[in-house]
Structure 1
Amino acid sequence: MKHASPDKSKTKVDAAAVDGATVPPNSAELSERESRWNYALVGSGLGVWDHNLRLGKRYYSDTWKIIRGMAPDENADGDFDTWIELIHPDDRDFVIKAVDRQNAGDPNYRIFEYRERHRDGHWIWIECRGACVEWDETGTPARLVGTDTDITERKGAQERLAHVSRRLDLALDISNIGVFEADIENGTVDWDDRLLSIYGITDTSPAGTGSAWEASLHPEDRDRVLATINECVATNTDFQHEFRIIRQDGIERVIRAKAAFFLDSDGRRKLIGANWDVTAEVRLNNELQRAKDLAEARNTELESAKESIEHLALHDYLTGLPNRRYLDRMLDDRSAECRRTGLTLAILHIDLDRFKQINDTLGHRAGDAMLKHAAQVLKRNVRSTDFVARIGGDEFVVLCNLDVTPKKISNLAERIIRELCKPIRYEGHDCRFGASIGIATDSGPALDAKQLLLNADIALYRAKSDGRNRHEFFSTDERRRIIASKRLADEILLGLERGEFVPFYQLQFHARTLDVAGVETLARWQHREHGLLTPDRFLAIAEDLDVVSMIDGLILEQALADRKRWEDEGLRIPKIAVNVSSRRLADPNLSKKLRGLKIEPRAISFELLESISLDDCDEAVIANLRHLRRLGIDIEIDDFGTGHASIVSLLKLSPKTLKIDRELIRMLPHSAEQRKLVRSIIDIGRSLNILVTAEGVETMDHVRILYDLGCDMLQGYALARPMPALQIAPFVRAASWRGADGPVAGSQLDLRKSVSGSGQR
């Protein structure tokens, strides 16, 4: 089947003629030698073939047949063409050439490999070794002998090794990892191409690469790296490190290296390692670290800014104390704790007394200094577990819980007041102020912190109302009063919407003739539930609501409408006096509103309470008074003698009328001193050409005495009580104050006598 001569001879060979030699005389020795070689060949797995071209004989051993899947006793005819068909198609041309060259004695083809189909169909690798052993007279090969070996397993191992090698090379190429092997004893280093490329080294000799590597180390890293390597060599320890190099082209790179020690087949200690360029990775890590550091720095700044904003949002900028927002948060926390533990929560609401005077006289800087001082006093006098807040203006709140008792809270409040009352030196001035404190406490599962704060505020209001520089505990009676005031305030606003505020009128009379001189308009509230209410029932609440000016305006409009109706009925009232509040008098739009009412000159007069500071009138008040005169509206000073109007202010204001307060009139029949005082007021009015009206004329003695004192006009129950507009006309027409049954009937005769007697004198 194999290695046929070029003439394709089919001659069969005798299996006994192996080498074609004549049997030597010592046949036993020869037989033993042949047996020995046969065993050796069989044991080595070599398939022997022998082509005797001169005799046309071909021999194939049993092993040669077994390699190809043939039976040992099977005949191998050695047909060349048949054998060539069994060769792998990719190897046929090569095998034909190799056989031809081997037959020709070409030493380059004594050994060659190829693939041949096994009897069961798979491919096996054959290693063919053959040579010419005999030549004819012309030098032509006459006999070729050789062996075939099944190298399929070896080829598979080589392929697997090649595959692994290819994968390793590919991986190293992709990862750009360079590999080196160092001989520790000889001091030589073998680098692969990748490693040379990484370092930019051109001298590829073992000695050259070793010195070039050390020279390439960055000066700042050289000592560290060499020390690491020397230590690892001394201790036979694997190592890993990272360092910088400067390539021969001047480029700086960062290298990461790993190395391990091993013994080669000769027992020599060697080091194998890998290097790779991590410059980009290090640069990226450095950039990421810088970004991280920057982000952390910014985060720290943001956190700091957040904390600062949070602090500013929860603290008072002036005193540094927690503010109202922080107080609300702490109220929720403390009340929840007290509800859970059963402890008592106490709230002290503190308001500084006389603080406004310091602000007004010494300025806001002084006021700020006092607020800072108050904050320090509060922090010094409370426990570390207590909470102090400034909730606005000159108001502070202290929260106490845990083991508080009314006695301890009272002692704390007294101590705070005592400390705050001590004088404070500020820019050469002794500043004095005090504090009023409202206290509310509660405990139990129903504790309501917001209601408790409201209760403390109610208690503070009572402390300030009862004289200041004191503390008061909340009481349910006070709360009921506050609730009633709140309800009344709501009802006042509703009453304004419904038009429930109406004018009542009290007639005024000439003292000498008892003729009607005019009427004073009085505000009344026709309450749907409580009936007719006088100002003492609603005026204070109306002032808090800042609606007195509105009530004054409504009363004025109704009074003008009533006067016109009286005139339409044939009744002429000389003048109507209406009250005007200080806020209405300071209204910059007052004159504009009055012009819109088209008031007849001298028909209306405005009564100003003497308690309005006439000496300190601002520009708006002075301007409005000037406009009132231009509109023909007279000015009257009400309740004269109990306020603080000076003679100078009377001269400046030039009122039409003074009304003596009823308190000065009440004791006239029983006090000579009162009569002297009233006479003095009347004389002042007369000297300044100002009419004088007496209020509170309750008896005929009042009428007689005031007549004798020279008073101009009288007003009081002795002559007429306040009445609604519809009763004015019938009352005036009836003139009952003059009749025999009138309230002053007895005095009329005396008055007439006095008048006639005066005329005789």
Structure 2
Amino acid sequence: MNLPLRLHSDISAIVPPSFSLSPELFAKVFPFHLAFNGEGKIVQMGEALARVHPRLSIGAPIQPHFRIARPQVNWDYAQICRATHALYVLESIENKMRLKGQMVCVESEQIAFFLGTPAIADFKALKGLGLRLSDFALHDPVTDFLLLLQGQKLALFNAKKRSQELSQKHRVLEESLSKLKATFEATADGILVTDLKGNILDFNQQFMKMWQISPATIAPNGENDRELAFARRKLQHPEVFLTKIRQLYGERERESYDILELDDGRIFECHSRPQWMGSDIHGRVWSFRDITDRQRVEAEIRYQASHDLLTGLPNRRLFEERLAANLADAEAEAEMLAVGFLDLDRFKAINDTLGHAVGDRLLQSVAQRLRSQVRTGDTVARWGGDEFAILLPKLSCSRDALQIAQRLLDAFGEPYILEEREYQIDCSIGIALYPTHGTDSHSLIHHADTALYRVKQQGRNGYQIYNRAMSTEASQRLALENRLYRALERRELLVHYQPQIDVRRDRVVGMETLVRWQHPDGHLISPKEFIPLAEENGLLANIDRWVLGEACRQTKQWQNSGFEDLGIGVNLSKRLFRQPDFVQILDDLLAEHDLDPRYLELEIKESLIHEDLELTSRHLQQLKELGVRLCLDNFGTGYSALADLKQVRFNTLKIDRSLIGDLIASQNNAAIAKATIALAKGLNLTAIAQGVETREQQALLQSWDCDLMQGNWFAPPLAWDAATAFLEGRFSWGDPTRSPASHSGN
């Protein structure tokens, strides 16, 4: 388990980004560690602990196996995380073994790590618990064994007074001392023993090896080493450590812990404890442990907890910490700061079309550009997905924030090279200022996000500073969104139908469905207001499924009433089309309403075809096999329309209304529309012009042999009863006296 931990130590991070620690290596480096989740269940344990506690298992609760003897907390994750600075003592309920150490909490993962070591008094206890010296050689400074050693020396001294006992105990004592000395030499930690004046009394070989010095350099009882002068030649900041040593000699009972940084880059952990003999202190015991690798692991864990691993930018958590700190500074110094939210335009389309690996490379490139455009001291963070947060402290005025926002926009002017092709990626930026738009983190983040949404509403690729009116509109939008969730079940949604006319034969050949939302007060809410909301909150697929069902039902009803060849056209949303079971849903609806598939035409926008090509190709092929008709919607506005006609077997081309609107006044639009009709004829496709509003447009299109037309010149979108009346010929197009809208349910 390689989790990002949040540690409460102030140690410089020296880990290269490529460093990582496998779960197996973690278990070896920390043989007595325990990791448990917020529910108190074990998720990882050290090798030695797993061996001496065979009943421990991953996923088991920790409470039946250990109790917390110190500090006074229970097995509550929140309590433990509030007391991470305390020394923890865990006692085994099974064998009474005690573990001393520190708790480290990973808040983002709800995981707590206990990094500890057993408290062992003598070899008998060591053996009784099933522990080995090699366990401690990997992890513990064995200071307790040194205390035992001094105790045995005192016992030997007393034994000399009792000559009658010397012959019985001498051999046992010598053997014990030999074992302790062997342990003293075998430990992986460097051990140094000094008297109360700082003179060196003893040390092990590991101490010499770690400090890279010879015994002659610090011969025991050498007066020149009273202040451990060897450290002066090796440490990056020797005076700090030597000052601490002088203080300890004046405070004999004090224990100390230090982190020592050496000139060669290594990092030592240093413990110093008084050496007790009975009730008296005779010296000090120093233990040094090389924690360079552990520091690298901890630094990597801290980095992962505070940074986005894909882009290397600060993550949301670190951004919020920096924002809180900068807000405090801004308040104290009466300064202005800005919070910006930046969102990429068209990122999802590229991610879906080219794949997530390409999308990841794009995010990395975007991160580099953003970093290059902000000032030293500014923060660019990845908030999530394709959204970035920007912190701009120490501004003199709002113009400073706008200038940086403009630089960020300009940075997107250069295309990105993806898969050997150029792609133009734009961005939208929302800005909130302290103290004008809020004095706390939550308000500034919320208002910057609100301003970002306004930019998206206005067409994207720009920036906006928050104003109060945006919050009013956002509240109204939220209320509309909440009501939309209930609109279907309350039957507030309606389907209107716009006739599609074969002018040459003077007949209605089809209808296009258009959804409307009727508010309880009677007015109709425009699709432009609620369709984007439905798409954002995931309701659009449900609405489209309902519209498809209504279209099939109503068409079959019209066919049963005598309009046997009447077809129906339905706009297909990306949300519904992307559902894996979409074709099956459509097949079930056709069967439910007994509608022949050839009378249903699905209108597909060009943008839909170019996303998730594998799924798109499969669904289009299945639709053709099912027998439904396919219409390429809004033809003439996309750059790849001709390629689409080659790849997909469409039945119909629908000329975009933007071309028809200026058909008479614009020669270019007229030429494109005429060419589109000719193209459809050449490919044996049906051409239909939408948005026909005048007799002149109808006449011109008719002269070019356009197959079908629809628009307000013939009839606006009609409720089912008005559409039925239109089919029955009670109204005719081009008649100024007609009034189909009066039957449309408006």
TM-score, reference length from structure 2: 0.53
**Residue segments in structure 2 that go unaligned for 5+ positions in a row:** 1-153, 171-199, 203-273, 740-746
1:601 corresponds to = 596
> Could you tell me how far 1:682 is from its partner in structure 2?
2.9
* Partner Cα separation in structure 2 for residue 615 and residue 630 of structure 1: 21
Higher relative contact order (CA 8 A, sep 6+): 2
**Aligned with residue 440 of structure 2, among 448, 451, 458:** 448
Kindly report which structure 2 residues correspond to 1:533-682, keeping only aligned pairs within 5 A, or say none. Answer: 533-567=525-559, 569-570=561-562, 572=564, 574-597=566-589, 598=591, 599-602=594-597, 604-612=599-607, 614=609, 618-644=613-639, 646-647=641-642, 649-668=644-663, 677-682=672-677
**Aligned with residue 713 of structure 1, among 708, 718, 721:** 708
* Partner Cα separation in structure 2 for residue 697 and residue 627 of structure 1: 33
Distance 1:676 1:174, change over 3 A: closer
Q: How big is each residue's C-alpha offset from its partner over 1:622-660, in whole Å with a ceiling of 9 and x where there is no partner?
A: 332232233331222333333345445335433333333
Which amino acid in 2 is paired with 1:656?
Answer: N
Distance 1:306 1:545, change over 3 A: same
2:391 corresponds to = 399
**Aligned with residue 505 of structure 1, among 476, 491, 497:** 497
* Partner Cα separation in structure 1 for residue 292 and residue 551 of structure 2: 72
Q: How big is each residue's C-alpha offset from its partner over 1:167-199, in whole Å with a ceiling of 9 and x where there is no partner?
A: xxxxx99994767xxxxxxxxxxxx96799799
* Partner Cα separation in structure 2 for residue 712 and residue 563 of structure 1: 21
* Partner Cα separation in structure 2 for residue 489 and residue 616 of structure 1: 27
* Partner Cα separation in structure 2 for residue 509 and residue 672 of structure 1: 25
Secondary structure at 1:458 match in 2? helix
> Could you tell me how far 1:525 is from its partner in structure 2?
1.3
TM-score, reference length from structure 1: 0.52
The yes-or-no answer on 1:382 pairing with 2:341 is: no
Deviates further, 369-378 or 716-725: 369-378
Deviates further, 637-646 or 627-636: 637-646
- 8 Å CA contact 2:448–2:466 kept in 1: the answer is yes
1:516 corresponds to = 508
The yes-or-no answer on 1:484 pairing with 2:479 is: no
2:88 corresponds to = none
Which amino acid in 2 is paired with 1:627?
Answer: Q
Secondary structure at 1:498 match in 2? coil
Deviates further, 386-395 or 471-480: 386-395
- 8 Å CA contact 1:611–1:644 kept in 2: the answer is no
2:744 corresponds to = none
Distance 1:608 1:728, change over 3 A: closer
Q: How big is each residue's C-alpha offset from its partner over 1:259-285, in whole Å with a ceiling of 9 and x where there is no partner?
A: xxxxxxxxxxxxxxxxxxxxxx99999
> Could you tell me how far 1:420 is from its partner in structure 2?
7.8
> Could you tell me how far 1:554 is from its partner in structure 2?
0.6
Distance 1:529 1:364, change over 3 A: same
- 8 Å CA contact 1:458–1:478 kept in 2: the answer is yes
> Could you tell me how far 1:453 is from its partner in structure 2?
1.1
1:458 corresponds to = 450
1:349 corresponds to = 341
2:732 corresponds to = 737
- 8 Å CA contact 1:610–1:642 kept in 2: the answer is no
Q: How big is each residue's C-alpha offset from its partner over 1:512-555, in whole Å with a ceiling of 9 and x where there is no partner?
A: 23222121111111222572123222222323234333222111
Q: How big is each residue's C-alpha offset from its partner over 1:61-89, in whole Å with a ceiling of 9 and x where there is no partner?
A: xxxxxxxxxxxxxxxxxxxxxxxxxxxxx
Q: How big is each residue's C-alpha offset from its partner over 1:26-67, in whole Å with a ceiling of 9 and x where there is no partner?
A: xxxxxxxxxxxxxxxxxxxxxxxxxxxxxxxxxxxxxxxxxx
> Could you tell me how far 1:324 is from its partner in structure 2?
0.9
> Could you tell me how far 1:455 is from its partner in structure 2?
1.7
Secondary structure at 2:630 match in 1? strand
* Partner Cα separation in structure 1 for residue 536 and residue 442 of structure 2: 23
> Could you tell me how far 1:504 is from its partner in structure 2?
0.6
Q: How big is each residue's C-alpha offset from its partner over 1:127-158, in whole Å with a ceiling of 9 and x where there is no partner?
A: xxxxxxxxxxxxxxxxxxxxxxxxxxxxxxxx
2:21 corresponds to = none
* Partner Cα separation in structure 2 for residue 376 and residue 587 of structure 1: 38
- 8 Å CA contact 1:582–1:612 kept in 2: the answer is no
The yes-or-no answer on 1:691 pairing with 2:683 is: no
- 8 Å CA contact 1:342–1:444 kept in 2: the answer is no
The yes-or-no answer on 1:370 pairing with 2:361 is: no
> Could you tell me how far 1:473 is from its partner in structure 2?
2.2
- 8 Å CA contact 1:346–1:404 kept in 2: the answer is no
* Partner Cα separation in structure 2 for residue 737 and residue 363 of structure 1: 54
Identity %: 28
1:725 corresponds to = 720
- 8 Å CA contact 2:314–2:382 kept in 1: the answer is yes
Kindly report which structure 2 residues correspond to 1:86-101, keeping only aligned pairs within 5 A, or say none. Answer: none
* Partner Cα separation in structure 2 for residue 618 and residue 292 of structure 1: 70
Kindly report which structure 2 residues correspond to 1:279-290, keeping only aligned pairs within 5 A, or say none. Answer: none
Secondary structure at 1:576 match in 2? strand
Deviates further, 393-402 or 320-329: 393-402
Distance 1:364 1:697, change over 3 A: closer
Distance 1:443 1:606, change over 3 A: same
* Partner Cα separation in structure 2 for residue 417 and residue 739 of structure 1: 49
Distance 1:717 1:352, change over 3 A: closer
> Could you tell me how far 1:366 is from its partner in structure 2?
4.8
* Partner Cα separation in structure 1 for residue 402 and residue 299 of structure 2: 37
Q: How many residues align?
A: 479
* Partner Cα separation in structure 2 for residue 450 and residue 528 of structure 1: 35
> Could you tell me how far 1:593 is from its partner in structure 2?
1.0
* Partner Cα separation in structure 2 for residue 543 and residue 435 of structure 1: 20
1:473 corresponds to = 465
Distance 1:297 1:346, change over 3 A: same
Q: How big is each residue's C-alpha offset from its partner over 1:403-448, in whole Å with a ceiling of 9 and x where there is no partner?
A: 6432343445456666787899999999997865432112289723
2:32 corresponds to = none
Distance 1:443 1:175, change over 3 A: same
Secondary structure at 2:512 match in 1? strand
> Could you tell me how far 1:336 is from its partner in structure 2?
5.0
Distance 1:524 1:378, change over 3 A: same
Q: How big is each residue's C-alpha offset from its partner over 1:659-682, in whole Å with a ceiling of 9 and x where there is no partner?
A: 333333344556677555544433
**Residue segments in structure 1 that go unaligned for 5+ positions in a row:** 1-171, 180-191, 201-240, 244-280, 745-761
Secondary structure at 1:504 match in 2? strand
Distance 1:644 1:607, change over 3 A: farther
Q: How big is each residue's C-alpha offset from its partner over 1:372-412, in whole Å with a ceiling of 9 and x where there is no partner?
A: 63475367x233xx555333455443434466432343445
1:325 corresponds to = 317
> Could you tell me how far 1:591 is from its partner in structure 2?
1.7
